[in-house]
Amino acid sequence: MSSTPPKQPPSMPRAARGPRPDFFEDGSSDTLLSMNIALLTELMATRERLDTLERLVASKGLVQREEIDTFEPDAAAEVEREQLRETMSRHVFYLLLQEAERAERIRPPEAV
């Protein structure tokens, strides 16, 4: 692995322009559907890349599948993985974060 951290993806705007399409009467169901689609998209892209890498590595005789299955990451790899998990979580929970941000903006000021 490289000693430099992975590039951060461009930050996504919090508020989308225009209304979101509604598929269900309950808005939370639409939010859940969108989150699941985002997660599925990420998972499928990752699975395809992983399959490609495993096939290339195996075809060149560089690593056996058993080594992949039993690999234990070091501390630096764990830090990088945590950054990736955080980025993916923000992507998957994007709509909930957006709703929370909107609610915060319209919440009346608390009496002092």
Tell me the pLDDT tens digit for each residue of 32-52: 888 889 889 989 999 999 999
pLDDT tens, residue order, the chain (112 aa): 556 666 666 666 566 676 667 777 787 888 888 888 988 998 999 999 999 998 999 899 999 888 888 999 999 999 999 999 999 888 878 878 888 888 888 877 675 5
User: What's the burial of 35, exposed, middle or buried (CB within 10 Å: 0-12/13-18/19+)?
Assistant: middle
Helix (H, G, I), strand (E, B) or coil at 86: helix
Location of structure tokens 């929370």? 100
Whether pTM exceeds 0.95: no
Cα 47 from Cα 53, distance rounded (Å): 10
